[in-house]
Amino acid sequence: MSRRPSRAPWRRTLPGALAGAALVAGLATLQRALLGFPAGLISSPRGYLIPALVGGLAGGALAWAWHRLREAEDRYRTVADLATEMIFWRDEAEVVRYASPSCLALTGYTPEELTGTPGLLARLVHPEDADLYRDHRHGVDASGLVQGLEFRIVRKDGAVRWVRHLCRPVLDGAGAQVGVRGSHSDITAEKALQAQLLQVQRLETVGQVAGGVAHDLRNVLTGVIGPATLIQERSQDPEARAAADEILEAARRASGLARDLLDLARREPLRLEPTPLRALVRGSERLLHRVVGDRIMVVFEDDGAPLPVAGDARRLEQVLLNLVTNARDAMPEGGLITVSLRAVPGPVPSALLAVRDQGSGMDPATCGRIFEPFFSTKEAGKGTGLGLSVVDRIVREHHGRISVASAPGRGTTFEVLLPLLPAARAAAAAPAPVA
């Protein structure tokens, strides 16, 4: 949108100058008439010329000063109104004298509410940060920079936001502080990114340590599994064979932990090859039945489609095993686990692998953290918290996604979507034949 160009300075000040000249000349004439000055003096050109000249100059100066003042006020008000930060000024009595319009987006309060409610600005500070805010000294540091502070505020609707606070004292002519000018910038998103970065850095460190531990653990297990296998195969003593079985079972569990640690550390390369998902799942039936035990039944559901995906067969078996093991642990008294497979049409036709249990279920807060490394709902010593985080990583490395649906007392369903290979995508996207 175009704006009219501002008038030249002389065109802005000329009306004021003329008005001032006329006003002063008129006052001079009235004064001379009332005080009885000689008519000749009154009629003298200089009797009007000098007052008119002085009045014109004074009027022009006043008009120019007024224009510059209004121009500066408009400029700073525009800056404040368009600023994304909340700009405010408050006095020593905690009364906000000015708050920019952006305060509504940040705090939920209008400028009128902030300026009309003494102390409201301080009450926005989160209770846990109140002491930090109270002890903050407004001013500049040794380098002359404005002091800053980061803390949380509670919006009018109860939401918590992080803000970066900058301020400078307002001093009177004697140097005494009479208020504070300041701003609040919303840094909630920045704080979230910082937390994610710290989490990534922590996981990288853990992964490096885990990779080394996993390799050492595998070397130790090799020395355990060999003798235990020899005892199991050659010993005629039933007790010795039973003990060897327990050793081998513990070694297998430890081997699985080592594999999870290596996956966490990403030490082993992923090998994506055409893999029929149905054959992979069906080929794991016997293993899964042994894993869940006698008190749990595993039921498989599919329509017979091969569902070929680009996958690492060993990693996909690990996904299935971890999900079924997690379902087993959710049903200590026994129950039913359903493993289902089907094609899902869409923009990217996919294979759906779902594992559903009849366990105790999870609340939304737990569901939101279930894929975090080292997060576990199991008792101490009964889980590492790595299984589902490894599953999530493997699925993402296969360009798929995993989701969880659960509610307390209603069991849990994990769904894994993996892109079908091109030929299978065409078959999945084709309309069903009309009977």
Q: What is the mean pLDDT of each run of 10 residues along the chain (435 residues)?
A: 47 56 60 54 51 58 63 60 78 87 92 91 92 73 65 94 87 83 88 77 64 69 80 83 82 71 63 92 88 90 92 90 91 93 92 95 89 69 67 91 93 95 62 47
Nearest in space to 328 (alpha carbons), one of 373, 358, 364: 358
Measure the CA–CA gap between 323 and 329, rounded to whole angstroms: 10
Give the pLDDT score at 243.
85
Cβ-based neighbour number of residue 224 at 10 Å: 15
Give the pLDDT score at 225.
80
Which residue matches tokens 């004697």? 174
Give the pLDDT score at 174.
85
Give the pLDDT score at 307.
94
Q: Is the dihedral of CA 198, 200, 203, 209 positive or negative?
A: negative
- Measured at the CA of 394, the angle between CA 393 and CA 398, to 5 degrees, comes to 115
Cβ-based neighbour number of residue 379 at 10 Å: 7
Measure the CA–CA gap between 108 and 181, rounded to whole angstroms: 20
pTM above 0.85?
no
What backbone phi and psi angles, to 5 degrees, belong to 90? -130, 155
The helix (run of H) or strand (run of E) holding residue 297 is strand 296-301
Give the pLDDT score at 157.
93
Residues paired with 372 in a beta bridge: none
Measure the CA–CA gap between 118 and 371, rounded to whole angstroms: 46
Q: What is the dihedral of CA 105, 109, 112, 113, to 10 degrees?
A: -170
Give the pLDDT score at 182.
85
Nearest in space to 107 (alpha carbons), one of 156, 168, 42, 169: 156
